[in-house]
Amino acid sequence: MRSGLEVWISEASGAYRDARIGLACNHTAVDASLRHALPLAVASGAQIVRLFAPEHGIDATAQDMIGVNDEQRSIEVVSLYGDDEASLRPDPATLEDLDVLLFDIQDVGARYYTYQATLGYIMEVAATTGTKVVVLDRPNPINGVDVEGNQLQPGHASFVGAYPLAVRHGMTMGEMGTLFKGHVGIDCDFEVIRCEGWRRDQWFDETGLPWVYPSPNMPTLDTAVIYPGMCLIEGTNLSEGRGTTRPFHLVGAPWLPAEKMAEYCIKGAADAGLRGVGFRPANFLPQFQKHAGKECGGVEIFVQDRNALESFALGLVVIEAALRVDPEHFGWRTETYEFVDEPIAIDLLTGSPEARVGLESKVRPRELIEAWTPQLDAWCEIRREYLLY
């Protein structure tokens, strides 16, 4: 198959030869031979005058929630992740002199992953400046068929949930942009250069494209598979494995006994009818972020059958286990999260207070998921209109 970048370079770039172009990208904007979009576009005759960098920066060297304000390159770079909420949207002045803004960033298929919010925010500003936004599309790496979770509820919008998507949305970046225009109502000049040869049921390793880790803590496709559930750990006082070589696969805290945590996870998974996942008691030592330098007890999570695994349910099962093993020490993250103080992080991630209140009240994960079925059904109806493949 060919990504939108490769299709644009070979078939459409000539139409933009006289245009002033901005390029929103990071290190994932490569072709099948790992050549980056910037030199490819320049070699095609395109006039790239400015880069726009999402969270983590052009080279994805910054950790999550670390502002990136100054990237030294031979071309101007505008950071879309600085030190305050205003930095998440481009200054209109950086779009006004552009005819076109190309967007080429690999998503991972979950509502919390901030690159899709960056696309939406760019589109919002472009609607005021008359700048055309063109998405060079890429596959949804965890397939474009499966959907999970609930829809974001009013009052819970943030950078980890900017628009009313389902948690595992089952869309490509180009499809989400199409939905932002048609359903959300962002009235900008918008186009998608589609992937060629991608089937919705394909996982990324079935496309023939190279996996370039999309962010510092997304090293493998298996990490992306569990991320729609395991990102929820960010909303707790547990380590989600940042500062280790197994982010999101390792979960724990200094007060958790590994054997007991694994036991509760295994039982909770069985009770929830969760399949395709395995748990190993694990002790680990994060080198940075939560519990840095302290040995944590917990579990290591293994993907055994990605086609059977419900990743959002997995996250709820793991949180429930930690809450039951040691309710005295377990807690929700209450610090400012993605520039928001209230609602707290777990409510921003889950899109409402329902998961938090439910787990505290001993509502089981499967009951929560079943209660969200009408929301997921509604999401499937909404998204159907905007699918491109």
- Both tokens of residue 239? 């380590």
Residue 290 belongs to domain with CATH number: 3.90.1150.140
Do 238 and 366 reside in the same domain of the chain?
yes
Do 40 and 170 reside in the same domain of the chain?
yes
The reply to whether the predicted model has a pTM over 0.75 is: yes
In this prediction, residue 61 carries a pLDDT of: 83
Domain encompassing residue 168: 4-215
Helices (H) and strands (E) in the chain, counts: 12, 11
Domain assignment present for residue 208? The answer is yes
Q: Tens digits of per-residue pLDDT, 20-54? A: 999 999 999 999 999 999 999 999 999 999 999 99
In this prediction, residue 63 carries a pLDDT of: 76
- Both tokens of residue 284? 């680990």
Pick the closest to residue 300 from 247, 238, 254 (CA basis): 247
In this prediction, residue 310 carries a pLDDT of: 98
- Both tokens of residue 16? 């933009």
In this prediction, residue 66 carries a pLDDT of: 66
Residue 184 belongs to domain with CATH number: 3.40.50.12170
Do 235 and 287 reside in the same domain of the chain?
yes
Domain assignment present for residue 382? The answer is no
Domain assignment present for residue 387? The answer is no
In this prediction, residue 361 carries a pLDDT of: 97
Do 178 and 243 reside in the same domain of the chain?
no
171 alpha-carbon distance from chain centroid: 12
pLDDT < 50 positions in the chain: none
Do 122 and 249 reside in the same domain of the chain?
no
In this prediction, residue 12 carries a pLDDT of: 83
| End residue of a domain, out of 191, 215, 239 | 215
Do 158 and 54 reside in the same domain of the chain?
yes
H-type helices in 220-310, by residue range?
221-230, 258-271
Do 50 and 199 reside in the same domain of the chain?
yes
Domain count, the chain: 2
Contact status, residue 137 vs residue 333, Cβ threshold 8 Å: no
In this prediction, residue 60 carries a pLDDT of: 73
- Both tokens of residue 98? 């552009």
Do 239 and 110 reside in the same domain of the chain?
no
Q: Strands 148-151 and 166-168, how do they pair?
A: antiparallel
Domain assignment present for residue 132? The answer is yes
- Both tokens of residue 112? 């919390």
